[in-house]
Structure 1
Amino acid sequence: MISILGKSNIAQRATNEDRFVADSNWGIALVADGMGGPAAGEIAASIVANQVTDLLDQGTPLAAAVYSAHQEVLRAVEDGRGKIGMGSTVVVAHFSGHHFELAWIGDSRAYLWNGELRQISRDHSQVEAMMSRGEISYSEATSHPNKNIITRAIGHGKFNEHDIPLIKGALFHGEKLLLCSDGLYDAVAACDIARVMNSAISSEQQLDQLLAIALANNGADNITAVLVDSDVIPQENEIIPTLPLVAIARIDGFTEHFTA
Protein backbone atom coordinates (compact mmCIF):
# COMPACT_ATOMS: atom_id res chain seq x y z
CA MET A 1 0.00 0.00 0.00
CA ILE A 2 0.95 3.60 -0.46
CA SER A 3 0.12 6.60 1.72
CA ILE A 4 -0.09 10.16 0.36
CA LEU A 5 -0.05 13.29 2.54
CA GLY A 6 0.21 16.95 1.61
CA LYS A 7 0.61 20.33 3.29
CA SER A 8 0.76 23.95 2.14
CA ASN A 9 1.60 27.30 3.73
CA ILE A 10 0.88 30.79 2.43
CA ALA A 11 4.26 32.05 3.78
CA GLN A 12 4.79 35.76 3.04
CA ARG A 13 2.34 36.01 0.14
CA ALA A 14 -1.02 37.74 0.34
CA THR A 15 -2.76 34.66 -1.10
CA ASN A 16 -1.89 31.01 -1.62
CA GLU A 17 -1.63 30.31 -5.35
CA ASP A 18 -0.45 26.73 -4.76
CA ARG A 19 -2.84 23.77 -4.93
CA PHE A 20 -2.20 20.14 -4.12
CA VAL A 21 -3.93 16.77 -4.29
CA ALA A 22 -2.95 13.99 -1.89
CA ASP A 23 -5.36 11.09 -2.30
CA SER A 24 -4.24 7.59 -1.40
CA ASN A 25 -7.48 6.01 -2.65
CA TRP A 26 -7.17 7.51 -6.14
CA GLY A 27 -3.40 7.14 -6.08
CA ILE A 28 -2.91 10.78 -7.04
CA ALA A 29 -0.19 13.09 -5.75
CA LEU A 30 -0.12 16.54 -7.36
CA VAL A 31 1.33 19.99 -6.80
CA ALA A 32 0.34 23.00 -8.92
CA ASP A 33 1.95 26.41 -8.45
CA GLY A 34 -0.20 29.14 -9.97
CA MET A 35 1.11 32.36 -11.44
CA GLY A 36 -0.46 35.56 -12.64
CA GLY A 37 -1.14 37.29 -9.35
CA PRO A 38 -4.17 37.36 -7.03
CA ALA A 39 -7.44 36.14 -8.56
CA ALA A 40 -5.49 34.51 -11.38
CA GLY A 41 -2.75 32.18 -10.20
CA GLU A 42 -5.01 30.38 -7.77
CA ILE A 43 -7.65 29.98 -10.50
CA ALA A 44 -5.16 28.44 -12.90
CA ALA A 45 -3.74 26.11 -10.23
CA SER A 46 -7.24 25.07 -9.17
CA ILE A 47 -8.20 24.30 -12.77
CA VAL A 48 -5.07 22.16 -13.13
CA ALA A 49 -5.64 20.26 -9.90
CA ASN A 50 -9.33 19.64 -10.59
CA GLN A 51 -8.99 18.83 -14.28
CA VAL A 52 -6.09 16.41 -13.90
CA THR A 53 -7.69 14.66 -10.92
CA ASP A 54 -11.08 14.29 -12.61
CA LEU A 55 -9.61 12.97 -15.84
CA LEU A 56 -7.31 10.48 -14.11
CA ASP A 57 -10.30 9.23 -12.13
CA GLN A 58 -12.08 8.67 -15.47
CA GLY A 59 -9.17 6.62 -16.81
CA THR A 60 -7.56 9.27 -19.02
CA PRO A 61 -3.81 8.69 -19.58
CA LEU A 62 -1.62 10.98 -17.50
CA ALA A 63 -0.04 13.03 -20.31
CA ALA A 64 -3.45 13.54 -21.92
CA ALA A 65 -4.88 14.72 -18.59
CA VAL A 66 -2.07 17.27 -18.15
CA TYR A 67 -2.47 18.53 -21.71
CA SER A 68 -6.22 18.84 -21.21
CA ALA A 69 -5.55 21.02 -18.16
CA HIS A 70 -3.34 23.24 -20.34
CA GLN A 71 -6.18 23.65 -22.84
CA GLU A 72 -8.71 24.31 -20.07
CA VAL A 73 -6.60 27.13 -18.60
CA LEU A 74 -6.38 28.71 -22.05
CA ARG A 75 -10.18 28.41 -22.41
CA ALA A 76 -10.68 29.94 -18.96
CA VAL A 77 -8.79 33.05 -20.03
CA GLU A 78 -10.92 33.32 -23.19
CA ASP A 79 -14.13 32.81 -21.17
CA GLY A 80 -13.23 35.43 -18.58
CA ARG A 81 -12.82 32.93 -15.74
CA GLY A 82 -9.38 34.35 -15.00
CA LYS A 83 -6.87 36.90 -16.19
CA ILE A 84 -4.72 37.11 -19.29
CA GLY A 85 -1.31 35.72 -18.48
CA MET A 86 -2.41 33.34 -15.76
CA GLY A 87 -0.84 29.91 -15.70
CA SER A 88 0.48 27.17 -13.48
CA THR A 89 3.17 24.60 -13.06
CA VAL A 90 2.26 21.02 -12.29
CA VAL A 91 4.00 17.89 -11.09
CA VAL A 92 1.79 14.83 -10.72
CA ALA A 93 2.28 11.17 -9.90
CA HIS A 94 -0.45 8.64 -10.63
CA PHE A 95 -0.14 5.34 -8.80
CA SER A 96 -1.42 1.89 -9.65
CA GLY A 97 -0.49 -0.08 -6.58
CA HIS A 98 3.11 0.90 -5.87
CA HIS A 99 3.92 1.61 -9.53
CA PHE A 100 3.53 5.16 -10.77
CA GLU A 101 3.71 7.46 -13.76
CA LEU A 102 5.09 10.95 -13.26
CA ALA A 103 4.57 14.02 -15.44
CA TRP A 104 5.39 17.70 -15.01
CA ILE A 105 5.37 21.12 -16.62
CA GLY A 106 7.36 24.02 -15.17
CA ASP A 107 9.60 23.96 -12.12
CA SER A 108 7.59 22.18 -9.45
CA ARG A 109 9.71 19.14 -8.66
CA ALA A 110 9.73 15.44 -7.88
CA TYR A 111 12.33 13.85 -5.63
CA LEU A 112 12.88 10.21 -4.71
CA TRP A 113 14.25 9.53 -1.23
CA ASN A 114 16.02 6.18 -0.91
CA GLY A 115 18.81 6.98 1.52
CA GLU A 116 19.77 9.99 -0.57
CA LEU A 117 17.64 12.68 -2.18
CA ARG A 118 17.41 12.16 -5.93
CA GLN A 119 15.76 14.83 -8.08
CA ILE A 120 13.97 12.94 -10.86
CA SER A 121 12.16 15.78 -12.69
CA ARG A 122 14.09 18.35 -14.74
CA ASP A 123 12.84 21.92 -14.47
CA HIS A 124 11.49 23.77 -17.45
CA SER A 125 13.45 26.84 -16.41
CA GLN A 126 15.96 29.35 -17.64
CA VAL A 127 18.69 28.32 -15.20
CA GLU A 128 18.24 24.62 -16.04
CA ALA A 129 18.78 25.48 -19.70
CA MET A 130 21.83 27.56 -18.80
CA MET A 131 23.30 24.67 -16.79
CA SER A 132 22.70 22.29 -19.69
CA ARG A 133 24.65 24.67 -21.97
CA GLY A 134 27.47 24.85 -19.43
CA GLU A 135 26.97 28.59 -18.84
CA ILE A 136 26.53 28.35 -15.06
CA SER A 137 27.24 25.79 -12.36
CA TYR A 138 24.74 24.09 -10.07
CA SER A 139 25.82 26.26 -7.13
CA GLU A 140 25.45 29.41 -9.26
CA ALA A 141 21.99 28.31 -10.34
CA THR A 142 20.70 28.17 -6.76
CA SER A 143 21.28 31.92 -6.31
CA HIS A 144 20.91 33.12 -9.90
CA PRO A 145 18.65 36.20 -10.24
CA ASN A 146 16.64 34.45 -12.99
CA LYS A 147 16.19 31.17 -11.12
CA ASN A 148 12.41 31.56 -10.97
CA ILE A 149 11.92 32.19 -14.70
CA ILE A 150 10.26 29.14 -16.22
CA THR A 151 10.28 28.26 -19.90
CA ARG A 152 7.09 26.21 -20.03
CA ALA A 153 3.85 26.42 -18.06
CA ILE A 154 0.28 25.22 -18.16
CA GLY A 155 -1.68 27.94 -19.95
CA HIS A 156 1.38 29.43 -21.64
CA GLY A 157 3.07 28.81 -24.95
CA LYS A 158 2.55 26.14 -27.57
CA PHE A 159 3.22 22.50 -26.77
CA ASN A 160 1.37 19.27 -27.31
CA GLU A 161 0.76 16.11 -25.35
CA HIS A 162 3.95 14.49 -26.64
CA ASP A 163 6.04 17.36 -25.24
CA ILE A 164 5.04 16.51 -21.68
CA PRO A 165 7.79 14.57 -19.85
CA LEU A 166 6.51 11.19 -18.65
CA ILE A 167 8.48 8.68 -16.62
CA LYS A 168 7.57 5.43 -14.88
CA GLY A 169 8.75 4.18 -11.52
CA ALA A 170 7.94 2.08 -8.49
CA LEU A 171 8.00 2.96 -4.80
CA PHE A 172 9.10 0.45 -2.17
CA HIS A 173 9.42 0.22 1.60
CA GLY A 174 12.03 2.68 2.84
CA GLU A 175 11.56 4.98 -0.15
CA LYS A 176 9.49 8.16 -0.43
CA LEU A 177 8.37 10.35 -3.31
CA LEU A 178 8.35 14.07 -2.59
CA LEU A 179 6.54 16.53 -4.85
CA CYS A 180 6.90 20.24 -4.09
CA SER A 181 6.63 23.79 -5.38
CA ASP A 182 9.67 26.04 -5.68
CA GLY A 183 8.62 27.70 -2.45
CA LEU A 184 10.09 24.70 -0.65
CA TYR A 185 13.32 23.99 -2.48
CA ASP A 186 14.18 27.68 -2.91
CA ALA A 187 14.07 28.09 0.88
CA VAL A 188 15.45 24.72 2.00
CA ALA A 189 18.76 23.38 0.69
CA ALA A 190 18.61 19.93 -0.88
CA CYS A 191 20.90 18.46 1.81
CA ASP A 192 18.60 19.84 4.50
CA ILE A 193 15.61 18.25 2.77
CA ALA A 194 17.60 15.00 2.76
CA ARG A 195 18.27 15.27 6.50
CA VAL A 196 14.56 15.71 7.22
CA MET A 197 13.71 12.75 5.00
CA ASN A 198 16.34 10.69 6.83
CA SER A 199 14.84 11.41 10.25
CA ALA A 200 12.98 8.64 12.07
CA ILE A 201 9.67 10.49 12.30
CA SER A 202 6.34 10.12 10.53
CA SER A 203 5.66 11.48 7.05
CA GLU A 204 3.34 14.08 8.52
CA GLN A 205 6.06 15.24 10.91
CA GLN A 206 8.54 15.37 8.03
CA LEU A 207 6.17 17.61 6.07
CA ASP A 208 5.74 19.83 9.14
CA GLN A 209 9.51 20.10 9.53
CA LEU A 210 10.09 20.92 5.87
CA LEU A 211 7.55 23.75 5.96
CA ALA A 212 8.87 24.99 9.31
CA ILE A 213 12.45 25.16 7.99
CA ALA A 214 11.31 27.00 4.87
CA LEU A 215 9.46 29.55 7.00
CA ALA A 216 12.43 29.91 9.38
CA ASN A 217 14.63 30.59 6.36
CA ASN A 218 12.33 33.48 5.42
CA GLY A 219 10.71 31.58 2.57
CA ALA A 220 8.68 34.22 0.78
CA ASP A 221 6.72 32.16 -1.74
CA ASN A 222 3.87 29.76 -1.04
CA ILE A 223 5.28 26.47 0.22
CA THR A 224 3.63 23.19 -0.76
CA ALA A 225 4.77 19.59 -0.46
CA VAL A 226 3.18 16.18 -1.01
CA LEU A 227 4.86 13.07 0.36
CA VAL A 228 4.19 9.48 -0.73
CA ASP A 229 5.50 6.43 1.09
CA SER A 230 5.08 2.71 0.53
CA ASP A 231 5.15 -0.49 2.58
CA VAL A 232 5.71 -2.75 -0.45
CA ILE A 233 8.65 -5.17 -0.37
CA PRO A 234 10.09 -5.82 -3.86
CA GLN A 235 9.52 -9.34 -5.16
CA GLU A 236 12.52 -11.45 -6.11
CA ASN A 237 11.90 -11.27 -9.87
CA GLU A 238 10.21 -7.87 -10.00
CA ILE A 239 11.43 -5.55 -12.73
CA ILE A 240 12.17 -2.16 -11.19
CA PRO A 241 12.04 0.80 -13.62
CA THR A 242 15.15 2.99 -13.78
CA LEU A 243 14.37 6.61 -12.99
CA PRO A 244 16.29 9.56 -14.47
CA LEU A 245 18.73 11.33 -12.17
CA VAL A 246 18.82 15.12 -12.42
CA ALA A 247 20.53 15.91 -9.12
CA ILE A 248 21.55 14.17 -5.93
CA ALA A 249 21.92 15.38 -2.34
CA ARG A 250 23.10 13.52 0.74
CA ILE A 251 22.89 14.14 4.45
CA ASP A 252 26.68 14.69 4.60
CA GLY A 253 26.34 17.80 2.42
CA PHE A 254 27.35 16.26 -0.90
CA THR A 255 25.41 17.52 -3.94
CA GLU A 256 25.76 16.94 -7.66
CA HIS A 257 23.75 18.00 -10.69
CA PHE A 258 23.65 16.09 -13.97
CA THR A 259 22.97 17.98 -17.20
CA ALA A 260 20.58 16.64 -19.80
Structure 2
Amino acid sequence: MPETTTQTHRVSDELQISWAGITDRGRRRENNQDAYLAKFPLFVVADGMGGHAGGEIASQSTVARLEEMVDTGAVSSEALELALHNAVDDIHSHSESTDEGTGTTLTGAYLERDESGVWQWIVLNIGDSRVYLERDNSLVQVTTDHSVVQELIASGKISPEEADGHPYSNVITRAVGASELVPPDYVTVDLRDQDRLIICSDGLTKELTDYGILHFLRENDDPAAAVDAMVDAALENGGRDNVTMIVLRVSLTTEAVEGSSSTEDEIAE
Protein backbone atom coordinates (compact mmCIF):
# COMPACT_ATOMS: atom_id res chain seq x y z
CA MET A 1 0.00 0.00 0.00
CA PRO A 2 1.37 3.46 -0.88
CA GLU A 3 2.53 5.58 2.02
CA THR A 4 -0.23 7.81 3.36
CA THR A 5 0.65 11.49 3.20
CA THR A 6 -0.99 14.64 4.51
CA GLN A 7 -1.94 17.22 1.92
CA THR A 8 -2.51 20.89 2.68
CA HIS A 9 -4.44 23.64 0.92
CA ARG A 10 -4.14 27.27 1.97
CA VAL A 11 -7.62 28.64 1.41
CA SER A 12 -6.74 32.18 2.48
CA ASP A 13 -4.28 34.02 4.72
CA GLU A 14 -6.48 33.03 7.66
CA LEU A 15 -7.50 29.46 6.78
CA GLN A 16 -5.66 26.26 5.95
CA ILE A 17 -7.12 22.76 5.44
CA SER A 18 -5.02 19.61 5.80
CA TRP A 19 -6.19 16.09 5.01
CA ALA A 20 -5.30 12.47 4.38
CA GLY A 21 -7.35 9.58 3.00
CA ILE A 22 -6.95 5.82 2.81
CA THR A 23 -8.88 2.75 1.66
CA ASP A 24 -8.18 -0.90 2.44
CA ARG A 25 -9.85 -4.10 1.22
CA GLY A 26 -9.94 -5.47 4.75
CA ARG A 27 -9.26 -9.07 5.75
CA ARG A 28 -12.40 -10.88 4.64
CA ARG A 29 -13.55 -9.27 1.37
CA GLU A 30 -12.41 -10.46 -2.04
CA ASN A 31 -12.49 -6.98 -3.55
CA ASN A 32 -12.76 -3.37 -2.42
CA GLN A 33 -16.16 -1.82 -3.11
CA ASP A 34 -15.26 1.42 -1.34
CA ALA A 35 -13.99 4.55 -3.07
CA TYR A 36 -13.13 8.04 -1.91
CA LEU A 37 -12.39 11.50 -3.25
CA ALA A 38 -10.19 13.98 -1.42
CA LYS A 39 -9.87 16.93 -3.78
CA PHE A 40 -10.33 20.42 -2.39
CA PRO A 41 -13.00 21.59 -1.69
CA LEU A 42 -14.85 18.23 -1.73
CA PHE A 43 -14.12 15.18 0.44
CA VAL A 44 -16.35 12.09 0.19
CA VAL A 45 -16.43 8.37 0.92
CA ALA A 46 -18.61 5.91 -1.03
CA ASP A 47 -19.33 2.33 0.08
CA GLY A 48 -20.68 0.21 -2.77
CA MET A 49 -23.05 -2.74 -2.57
CA GLY A 50 -24.54 -5.30 -4.93
CA GLY A 51 -23.02 -8.29 -6.70
CA HIS A 52 -19.37 -9.16 -7.09
CA ALA A 53 -18.55 -6.10 -9.22
CA GLY A 54 -21.68 -4.00 -8.95
CA GLY A 55 -20.79 -2.23 -5.71
CA GLU A 56 -17.33 -1.36 -6.96
CA ILE A 57 -18.79 0.08 -10.16
CA ALA A 58 -21.39 2.07 -8.20
CA SER A 59 -18.92 3.68 -5.80
CA GLN A 60 -16.31 4.41 -8.47
CA SER A 61 -18.88 5.83 -10.89
CA THR A 62 -20.21 8.14 -8.20
CA VAL A 63 -16.77 9.36 -7.19
CA ALA A 64 -15.81 9.88 -10.84
CA ARG A 65 -18.84 12.08 -11.50
CA LEU A 66 -18.14 14.11 -8.37
CA GLU A 67 -14.52 14.59 -9.39
CA GLU A 68 -15.71 15.91 -12.77
CA MET A 69 -17.86 18.41 -10.87
CA VAL A 70 -14.90 19.55 -8.74
CA ASP A 71 -12.79 19.98 -11.87
CA THR A 72 -15.36 22.41 -13.31
CA GLY A 73 -14.96 24.60 -10.21
CA ALA A 74 -18.71 24.57 -9.48
CA VAL A 75 -19.19 22.82 -6.13
CA SER A 76 -22.66 23.37 -4.71
CA SER A 77 -25.65 21.29 -3.65
CA GLU A 78 -27.24 21.80 -7.07
CA ALA A 79 -24.10 20.73 -8.95
CA LEU A 80 -23.60 17.80 -6.59
CA GLU A 81 -27.11 16.48 -7.10
CA LEU A 82 -26.76 16.78 -10.87
CA ALA A 83 -23.52 14.78 -10.64
CA LEU A 84 -25.34 12.12 -8.61
CA HIS A 85 -28.13 11.88 -11.19
CA ASN A 86 -25.46 11.29 -13.84
CA ALA A 87 -23.82 8.69 -11.61
CA VAL A 88 -27.12 6.83 -11.27
CA ASP A 89 -27.42 6.73 -15.07
CA ASP A 90 -23.85 5.39 -15.28
CA ILE A 91 -24.59 2.68 -12.71
CA HIS A 92 -27.80 1.56 -14.42
CA SER A 93 -26.18 1.47 -17.86
CA HIS A 94 -23.28 -0.76 -16.81
CA SER A 95 -23.69 -4.42 -17.70
CA GLU A 96 -22.11 -5.62 -14.45
CA SER A 97 -24.23 -3.51 -12.13
CA THR A 98 -27.71 -4.76 -12.98
CA ASP A 99 -28.23 -6.77 -9.78
CA GLU A 100 -31.14 -5.63 -7.65
CA GLY A 101 -29.85 -3.49 -4.82
CA THR A 102 -26.71 -2.30 -6.59
CA GLY A 103 -25.75 1.15 -5.35
CA THR A 104 -23.50 3.03 -2.99
CA THR A 105 -23.59 5.10 0.13
CA LEU A 106 -22.12 8.58 -0.06
CA THR A 107 -21.02 10.84 2.74
CA GLY A 108 -18.59 13.70 3.15
CA ALA A 109 -18.25 17.46 3.20
CA TYR A 110 -17.34 20.41 1.04
CA LEU A 111 -16.11 23.86 1.98
CA GLU A 112 -18.03 26.96 0.90
CA ARG A 113 -18.63 30.56 1.92
CA ASP A 114 -21.98 31.60 3.36
CA GLU A 115 -23.80 34.77 2.29
CA SER A 116 -21.65 36.88 4.62
CA GLY A 117 -18.41 35.41 3.27
CA VAL A 118 -17.66 33.13 6.23
CA TRP A 119 -16.23 29.70 5.41
CA GLN A 120 -18.28 26.69 6.53
CA TRP A 121 -18.52 22.95 5.98
CA ILE A 122 -21.54 21.53 4.20
CA VAL A 123 -21.79 17.92 5.36
CA LEU A 124 -23.78 15.55 3.13
CA ASN A 125 -25.03 12.01 3.58
CA ILE A 126 -26.88 9.19 1.82
CA GLY A 127 -26.72 5.79 3.56
CA ASP A 128 -24.83 4.62 6.65
CA SER A 129 -21.29 5.87 6.06
CA ARG A 130 -20.59 8.64 8.56
CA VAL A 131 -19.07 12.03 9.25
CA TYR A 132 -17.83 12.85 12.76
CA LEU A 133 -16.66 16.16 14.16
CA GLU A 134 -13.85 16.21 16.71
CA ARG A 135 -13.90 19.52 18.59
CA ASP A 136 -12.57 20.48 22.01
CA ASN A 137 -11.42 16.90 22.66
CA SER A 138 -14.88 15.39 22.13
CA LEU A 139 -16.45 13.52 19.22
CA VAL A 140 -19.91 14.14 17.71
CA GLN A 141 -21.56 12.17 14.92
CA VAL A 142 -22.73 14.80 12.43
CA THR A 143 -24.63 12.55 10.02
CA THR A 144 -27.64 10.36 10.74
CA ASP A 145 -27.59 6.85 9.28
CA HIS A 146 -30.20 5.97 6.69
CA SER A 147 -30.69 2.44 7.94
CA VAL A 148 -33.34 0.13 9.34
CA VAL A 149 -31.67 -0.05 12.74
CA GLN A 150 -31.45 3.73 12.97
CA GLU A 151 -35.20 3.94 12.32
CA LEU A 152 -35.75 1.35 15.06
CA ILE A 153 -33.56 3.34 17.45
CA ALA A 154 -35.40 6.57 16.61
CA SER A 155 -38.76 4.91 17.27
CA GLY A 156 -37.54 3.51 20.60
CA LYS A 157 -37.91 -0.13 19.52
CA ILE A 158 -34.27 -0.99 20.14
CA SER A 159 -31.42 0.64 22.02
CA PRO A 160 -28.20 1.85 20.34
CA GLU A 161 -26.39 -1.00 22.13
CA GLU A 162 -28.68 -3.55 20.44
CA ALA A 163 -28.04 -2.15 16.95
CA ASP A 164 -24.71 -3.90 16.24
CA GLY A 165 -26.06 -7.39 16.68
CA HIS A 166 -29.42 -6.75 15.02
CA PRO A 167 -30.23 -9.02 12.02
CA TYR A 168 -30.92 -5.91 9.89
CA SER A 169 -27.77 -4.07 10.96
CA ASN A 170 -26.47 -3.95 7.35
CA VAL A 171 -29.74 -2.88 5.69
CA ILE A 172 -29.74 0.73 4.53
CA THR A 173 -32.81 2.68 3.45
CA ARG A 174 -31.18 5.13 1.03
CA ALA A 175 -28.38 4.73 -1.52
CA VAL A 176 -27.14 6.21 -4.78
CA GLY A 177 -28.25 3.96 -7.63
CA ALA A 178 -30.32 1.40 -5.72
CA SER A 179 -33.59 3.28 -6.26
CA GLU A 180 -34.83 6.68 -7.36
CA LEU A 181 -32.29 9.22 -6.18
CA VAL A 182 -33.22 11.12 -3.04
CA PRO A 183 -31.14 14.25 -2.35
CA PRO A 184 -28.56 13.93 0.42
CA ASP A 185 -29.18 15.23 3.89
CA TYR A 186 -27.18 18.41 4.48
CA VAL A 187 -25.82 19.80 7.74
CA THR A 188 -23.90 23.07 8.07
CA VAL A 189 -20.89 23.09 10.39
CA ASP A 190 -18.97 26.24 11.31
CA LEU A 191 -15.17 26.22 11.35
CA ARG A 192 -13.15 26.29 14.55
CA ASP A 193 -9.39 26.17 14.86
CA GLN A 194 -8.08 22.58 15.12
CA ASP A 195 -11.46 21.04 14.32
CA ARG A 196 -11.20 17.67 12.62
CA LEU A 197 -13.77 15.97 10.41
CA ILE A 198 -13.66 12.18 10.12
CA ILE A 199 -15.38 10.76 7.03
CA CYS A 200 -15.62 6.97 7.01
CA SER A 201 -17.34 3.88 5.69
CA ASP A 202 -18.95 1.44 8.10
CA GLY A 203 -15.92 -0.81 7.74
CA LEU A 204 -14.31 1.50 10.29
CA THR A 205 -17.28 1.90 12.65
CA LYS A 206 -17.90 -1.86 12.71
CA GLU A 207 -14.46 -2.29 14.26
CA LEU A 208 -13.93 0.91 16.30
CA THR A 209 -16.27 2.53 18.79
CA ASP A 210 -16.65 6.30 18.92
CA TYR A 211 -14.32 6.27 21.91
CA GLY A 212 -11.80 4.28 19.91
CA ILE A 213 -11.89 6.84 17.10
CA LEU A 214 -11.42 9.65 19.59
CA HIS A 215 -8.53 7.80 21.22
CA PHE A 216 -6.58 7.59 17.96
CA LEU A 217 -7.32 11.22 17.16
CA ARG A 218 -5.92 12.23 20.54
CA GLU A 219 -2.81 10.16 19.88
CA ASN A 220 -2.24 11.42 16.31
CA ASP A 221 -2.48 15.09 15.44
CA ASP A 222 -1.32 14.61 11.84
CA PRO A 223 -4.15 13.45 9.51
CA ALA A 224 -2.00 10.82 7.78
CA ALA A 225 -0.88 9.33 11.09
CA ALA A 226 -4.49 9.33 12.33
CA VAL A 227 -5.94 7.48 9.32
CA ASP A 228 -3.11 4.94 9.33
CA ALA A 229 -3.55 4.25 13.05
CA MET A 230 -7.32 3.83 12.78
CA VAL A 231 -7.26 1.59 9.72
CA ASP A 232 -4.55 -0.57 11.32
CA ALA A 233 -6.73 -0.90 14.44
CA ALA A 234 -9.79 -1.79 12.36
CA LEU A 235 -7.84 -4.53 10.62
CA GLU A 236 -6.49 -5.86 13.91
CA ASN A 237 -10.04 -5.95 15.28
CA GLY A 238 -11.16 -8.20 12.43
CA GLY A 239 -11.28 -6.14 9.25
CA ARG A 240 -14.65 -7.67 8.36
CA ASP A 241 -15.36 -5.12 5.64
CA ASN A 242 -13.56 -2.69 3.36
CA VAL A 243 -12.26 0.24 5.42
CA THR A 244 -12.11 3.77 4.00
CA MET A 245 -11.66 7.10 5.72
CA ILE A 246 -10.57 10.71 5.38
CA VAL A 247 -9.42 12.96 8.21
CA LEU A 248 -9.58 16.75 7.69
CA ARG A 249 -8.01 19.33 10.00
CA VAL A 250 -8.81 23.05 10.15
CA SER A 251 -6.11 25.61 10.96
CA LEU A 252 -7.21 29.20 11.57
CA THR A 253 -5.22 32.28 12.54
CA THR A 254 -6.07 34.11 15.76
CA GLU A 255 -7.90 36.81 13.81
CA ALA A 256 -10.00 34.23 11.98
CA VAL A 257 -10.83 32.38 15.20
CA GLU A 258 -12.06 35.61 16.78
CA GLY A 259 -14.10 36.39 13.69
CA SER A 260 -15.74 32.97 13.66
CA SER A 261 -16.73 32.97 17.32
CA SER A 262 -20.07 34.57 16.55
CA THR A 263 -21.09 32.00 13.94
CA GLU A 264 -23.81 29.59 14.93
CA ASP A 265 -22.68 26.08 15.79
CA GLU A 266 -25.53 23.90 14.56
CA ILE A 267 -23.90 20.71 15.81
CA ALA A 268 -23.99 21.89 19.42
CA GLU A 269 -27.74 22.48 19.36
Q: TM-score per shorter chain, which class?
A: 0.7 to 0.9
Match of 1:5 among 6, 9, 20: 20
Quote the offset at 1:240 in angstroms: 2.6
Structure 2 residue matching 1:231: 3-state secondary structure: strand
Q: Could you list the runs of 5+ residues in structure 1 that have no partner in the other structure? A: 247-260
Whole-Å separation in 1 of the counterparts to 2:169 and 2:31: 22
Which shows bigger deviation, 43-52 or 199-208?
199-208
State whether structure 2 residue 130 is matched by structure 1 residue 109: yes
Q: Which residue does the alignment assign to 1:230? A: 250
Which shows bigger deviation, 67-76 or 224-233?
67-76
From the superposition, tell whether residues 120 and 63 of structure 1 become closer, same or farther in structure 2 (CA, over 3 Å): farther
State whether structure 2 residue 258 is matched by structure 1 residue 242: no
Q: Which residue does the alignment assign to 1:197? A: 217
Residues 129-187 of structure 1 deviation map (CA, whole Å, 9 limit, x = unaligned): 000100011111132221111001001223443xx211212333221000000000011
2:55 and 2:104 in contact (8 A); partners too: yes
Structure 2 residue matching 1:236: 3-state secondary structure: helix
2:36 and 2:45 in contact (8 A); partners too: yes
Q: Could you list the runs of 5+ residues in structure 2 that have no partner in the other structure? A: 1-15, 114-118
Q: Which residue does the alignment assign to 1:84? A: 99
State whether structure 2 residue 177 is matched by structure 1 residue 155: yes
Quote the offset at 1:203 in angstroms: 1.6
State whether structure 2 residue 111 is matched by structure 1 residue 95: yes
Q: Which residue does the alignment assign to 2:150? A: 128
2:220 and 2:226 in contact (8 A); partners too: no
Considering only aligned residues, what root-mean-square deviation do their CA atoms show, in Å?
2.1
Whole-Å separation in 1 of the counterparts to 2:207 and 2:258: 40
2:42 and 2:110 in contact (8 A); partners too: yes
Residues 97-148 of structure 1 deviation map (CA, whole Å, 9 limit, x = unaligned): 7522111100010000011110000000001000010001111113222111
Counterpart amino acid of 1:27?
A: P
Structure 2 residue matching 1:204: 3-state secondary structure: helix
Match of 1:42 among 41, 47, 56: 56
Counterpart amino acid of 1:43?
A: I
Percent of matched pairs sharing the same residue: 29
Structure 1 residue matching 2:123: 3-state secondary structure: strand
Quote the offset at 1:75 in angstroms: 4.5
1:112 and 1:119 in contact (8 A); partners too: yes
Residues 30-59 of structure 1 deviation map (CA, whole Å, 9 limit, x = unaligned): 100011132211111011111122224431
Q: Which residue does the alignment assign to 2:232? A: 212
Whole-Å separation in 1 of the counterparts to 2:166 and 2:155: 15
Match of 1:171 among 191, 194, 210: 191
